[in-house]
Amino acid sequence: MVVRNYGKQAPPAPPPPLWRRFLKHPQQVWLRKAMFQIHLWTGIIVGLYIIAIGVSGSILVFKEELFPRPHIDVGAVDTRACTPESLEAVVRNVSLAYPEKEVFLTACPSVFNPLYVTTIRNKAEGAPAAGSGPPADREPLAVYSHPHTAAVLGAADREGSWVSWFEELHVNLLIGRKGRWWNGVGSAILLALTITGLVLWWPGIRAWKRGFLVNFRHNWKRINFDLHNVTGFWTILFTLTWALTGIYFTWPKLFTEPIQQISPIVTANYPAQEMRRLAARPIAPKADLDVNTVLRHAQQLSPDGALEGYFYGAGKNPIFTVYMARGDMGDYAMTDFLYFDQNTGEHLLTWHRGKNQTLGDWLIWLVVPLHFGTSWGPAVQWLWFLFGLILPFLTITGFLMYWNRYLGKRWRALRNAPASSARVLHS
Asked, for residue 183, whether it belongs to a domain, the answer is yes
Residue 139 lies in a domain: yes
Q: Which of 295, 290, 336 is nearest to 82 (CA)?
A: 295
Cβ neighbours of 389 (radius 10 Å): 15
Task: Tell me the backbone φ, ψ of residue 168, rounded to 5 degrees.
Answer: -65, -35
Computed over every residue of the chain, the mean pLDDT equals 89
Question: Could you tell me which residues come within 8 angstroms of residue 212 by beta carbon, excluding any fewer than 6 positions away?
Answer: 230, 233, 234
- Over residues 79-96, the mean pLDDT reads 96
Question: What is the strand order of the sheet 319-325 is part of?
Answer: 152-156, 141-145, 116-122, 101-107, 306-311, 319-325, 335-341, 347-353
Same domain, 257 and 220: yes
Mean pLDDT of 35-57: 92
Q: Are 114 and 145 in the same domain?
A: yes
Same domain, 146 and 117: yes
The rounded distance, in Å, linking the Cα atoms of 316 and 280 is 10
Residue 324, CA distances (Å) to 215, 334, 335, 389 in order: 52, 9, 6, 33
Kindly state whether residue 74 falls inside one of the protein's structural domains.
Answer: yes
φ/ψ bin of 256: left (φ > 0), alpha (ψ from -120 to 50), beta (otherwise)? alpha
CA angle 345, 350, 351 (to 5 degrees): 145
94 with 214, same domain: the answer is no
For residues 110, 112, 117 and 121, what is the CA-based torsion angle, rounded to 10 degrees? Answer: -130
421 in a structural domain: no
Residue at a domain's end among 104, 125, 160: 160
The whole-number pLDDT of residue 315 equals: 87
In a shared domain, residues 108 and 145 = yes
Residues 48 and 72 in one domain: no
Name the domain boundary from 118, 137, 160: 160
Does any domain span residue 98?
A: yes
User: What does the radius of gyration of the chain's CA atoms come to, in whole angstroms?
Assistant: 30
Give phi and psi for 256, each to the nearest 5: -65, -40
* Residue range 35-62: mean pLDDT, rounded: 93
**Does residue 318 surpass a pLDDT of 90?**
yes
Side-chain-facing half-sphere of 33: CA atoms under 13 Å: 5
On whether residue 235 sits in a domain, the answer given is yes
pLDDT at residue 208 in the model:
83
At 192-239, the pLDDT tens digits run 999 999 999 988 888 888 889 999 999 999 999 999 999 999 999 999
Residue 154 resides in a domain:
yes
Residue 199 neighbours by CB under 8 Å, 6+ apart: 31, 32, 35
81 and 96 together in one domain: yes
Q: Domain check: are 83 and 209 in the same one?
A: no
> pLDDT value at position 346?
96
Are both 42 and 175 inside the same structural domain?
yes
pLDDT at 132: 42
**The total number of structural domains that make up the chain:** 2
Q: What is the pLDDT averaged over residues 55-74? A: 95
**Do residue 74 and residue 144 come from a single domain?**
yes
CA quadruple 19, 21, 24, 26: dihedral positive or negative? negative
- First-residue to last-residue Cα distance in the chain: 68
Portion of the chain with pLDDT greater than 70, in percent: 90
pLDDT bracket for residue 365 (50, 70, 90): very high
Average pLDDT for residues 136-141, to the nearest whole number?
Answer: 69
Domain identity same for 25 and 149: no
Beta carbons of 55 and 129 less than 8 angstroms apart: no
pLDDT for 128 beyond 90: no
Residue 5 confidence (pLDDT) above 70: no
Q: Is 219 exposed, middle or buried (0-12, 13-18, 19+ CB in 10 A)?
A: exposed
Query: For position 104, what pLDDT does the model report?
Result: 94
CATH of the domain at 93: 3.10.450
pLDDT given at position 392: 96
Please tell me the predicted confidence (pLDDT) of residue 408: 81
Residue 90, in any domain of the structure: yes
Residues 57 and 172 reside in one and the same domain: yes
d(CA 170, CA 224): 28
Beta carbons within 8 Å of 422's beta carbon, 6+ residues apart = none
| The last residue of a domain, from among 160, 180, 200 | 160
Domain residues for the domain of 246 are 21-61+168-261+387-413
What confidence tier does 32 reach under pLDDT thresholds 50, 70, 90? confident
State whether the Cα torsion 281-283-284-287 is positive or negative: positive
Q: What is the pLDDT of residue 9?
A: 63
